[in-house]
Chain A
Amino acid sequence: MGKIIKKKKAIFFTFIAITIMAIFILVFTPQADVGLEKDTQAITSRISSVDDYVSDLQNRYFENALRTTTYKTILSLIFYMNSTGSYIANLDSAFSEVMLSGKINGVPIDTITGKNIMSGNTLIDWNNKIIQTAKDTFNVNTTIIVNSVSVSQTTPWNIESSISVNFSVNSNVAQWSKSATIKATNSIEGLPDPYYLVNTKSTSSYTNTIKKSGVLFSQWDITKTREHLRNGTYVHWESSDAPSFLMRFTNTISSSSCCGIESLVNPNKISPSDQRESYVDYLFWSHRFSNDCAQLYNINGLWDEFRYFKLEFNHMTIYNVQDTATKTC
């Protein structure tokens, strides 16, 4: 028996060699670079990409889309007023309808104005564009629900629009659900004043574009007033009775606590030029002084260029043109 074992010694050496080789193979065989860590990195990278998209959507895209649609909506409403010659009954409602659907009272506003402004440019259109592009780019499903839309003024030269949205983004690795109130500010400079358009629709189609006067309160005189009238510029007086830009859409001619602006009506652009009114725009078309001639003054210093131009006492002193004025009657 002992002889047999002695003779089989070689095979034990062979088994030992195989075992050592097996250990070497297990230790040094190149492993495929696929594993939990790799998966985790991929998921982290994907979540990071979609998270950037969600952040962009909330912080930049909604604001940009709101700003662009606000401008187009306001412009469309101005053209609508110019086409119909009438004021907007409820600005918030009309603004919301036009901004979201491009319609006013159920009718596409572009068909009324004859302009191609809102077609493909409503807030819903812009939301659909980002939804589709996000689907193509990140393979995520985005849902956006606009709860409410509003427009207001807190400064004389800017309008502020606001939307309340709920949105969610679903990917195969994570889901984001958020609510946000988005605000955008648009300058009113460069927009036509709807108050002029409606009031001159039947006579002279007088378009006056909002442009802020650079004259300071203490600098007004007959020369500055002449330029002001010539250029059709607007001015904001503290505690004046002037309406704001948005109040002009609804013919709400009363004092705006924050944002009243006014311009002077150029007598050469209206018919008839000689009217018994103060030629401050909101006083002119609200006929505040039509039956109070005693309070009106002819500003003779401007009559060489702007014949029949008149102001009531208060504005005559604000514009500092009393030296060249005479009572109208």
Chain B
Amino acid sequence: MLSKKRGYFFILDALLATLVIVIGVLLIFSSYVNVPKSTQVELLSDDLMNFLSNTKIKDINNPYAGIGGYLWNQGAITDQENTLLQQIGEFYATNKLDVADKFIQNLSAGAVPQQFRYEVWMDGVTIYPKTKTPEHIKSRNSTGLLLTSKKLTFGIINRTTSNLWGPYKAEVYVWEK
């Protein structure tokens, strides 16, 4: 009787062996699944936003944007107590978008690693980059992970007349190329 059922055992054994092989293969391939790591991009967007919102004009040593620099001498920057984000907001409020674009470019050049792209928005308007290249747009549209940091910003244009600008929603978008 048992000797006649030996074939079933072989079949069952073969099925189990196949199952083991399939599971093994799945296991090997699943270990190669590419899970996007959000941490680095998230940190970078927060870092860039914190840099812009916590650093004051008087704290930077930059020949373009710092005290005694090009913009200071031109009279485009007048308040050394402004944070960089406030200064961007002030440029936006006074419709100096070209200056804002170059200002951000100068300050963030060394702050963001080459493999990342980023944008700075103010009040729903892209301030940097003012002109988006096709590569930039393609990169943004095709990225798997784009993260943003947001802040509120406001300030005073003229300390004598106390003209207030804002409040604006400031956003920094960062993604990997």
Contacts and interface: CB of A to CB of B under 8 A. Distances in A.
Interface of A: 4, 7-8, 10-11, 14, 17-18, 21, 24-25, 28-30, 32-33, 49, 52-53, 56, 60-61, 64-65, 67-68, 70-72, 126, 129-130, 133-134, 136-138, 186-187, 190
B27 A24 contact: yes
Interface in B135-175: 150-152, 154-156, 160-164, 166-169
A64 B27 CA distance: 61
Given A11-B9, A61-B154, 4 more contacts: A33-B35, A49-B150, A133-B166, A137-B169
Contact of B24 (A21, A53, A130, A190): A21
A21 B23 contact: yes
B76 interface: no
Categorize the interface residue count of chain B: 20 to 34
B16 A14 contact: yes
Question: Chain A interface mostly helix, strand, loop or mixed?
Answer: helix
Contact of B150 (A10, A33, A137): A137
Contacts of B23: 21, 25
B20 A10 contact: no
B109 interface: no
Nearest to A53: B152
A137 B166 CA distance: 13
25 contacts: A4-B2, A7-B2, A8-B9, A10-B13, A11-B9, A11-B12, A14-B16, A29-B27, A30-B30, A30-B35, A32-B35, A56-B152, A61-B167, A64-B156, A64-B162, A67-B156, A67-B162, A68-B156, A126-B164, A130-B154, A134-B152, A137-B150, A137-B151, A138-B152, A186-B162
Nearest to A15: B16
In this complex, the member of A8, A60, A68, A130 whose beta carbon has the largest number of chain B beta carbons within 10 angstroms is A68
Contacts of B151: 49, 52, 137
Contacts of B161: 71, 190
Nearest to A14: B16
Interface in B5-60: 6, 9, 12-13, 16-17, 19-20, 23-24, 27, 30-31, 33, 35, 38
Given A18-B20, A29-B27, A133 B168 contact: yes
A65 B133 CA distance: 39
Nearest to B2: A4
A133 B167 CA distance: 7
A190 B162 contact: no
A70 B162 contact: yes
A71 B159 CA distance: 10
Given A11-B12, A24-B27, A133-B168, A64 B155 contact: yes
A54 to B, nearest CB: 11
